[in-house]
Amino acid sequence: MSKPTHPKVIARRRHRYEKLWKLRMKYAQATSEAERERIFEKARKVSPGLSREQFVAPLQARGLL
């Protein structure tokens, strides 16, 4: 199946990607485990199918965690 080309679908995907990246950066800078849990719950609201491993993987790949 090809990618959707509707502008609204593309805009939603880009916004979701940017929002998740901002949350990942906050997660990396968080000091307590409770704060990290709160940030991850926000990420789950943005992308419900996201697991913690998937959320943290880009940070680990860049050496931020």
Query: Residue 48 gets which letter from DSSP?
Result: T
> What is the Cα–Cα distance from 57 to 20, expressed in whole angstroms?
12
pLDDT confidence bin for 1, thresholds 50/70/90: low
pLDDT of 17 strictly over 80: yes
Task: State the sign of the Cα–Cα–Cα–Cα dihedral 58, 25, 22, 31.
Answer: positive
Q: Residue 50: its pLDDT value, please?
A: 93
Full-model pTM:
0.82
| Position 2 in a domain | no
Name the residue range of residue 20's domain: 7-61
| Position 1 in a domain | no
> What is the Cα–Cα distance from 37 to 14, expressed in whole angstroms?
24
pLDDT of 3 strictly over 90: no
Q: Could you give phi then psi for residue 2, rounded to 5 degrees?
A: -80, 165
pLDDT tens for 39-60 read 999 999 999 999 999 999 999 9
Q: Work out how many domains the chain is built from and give that number.
A: 1
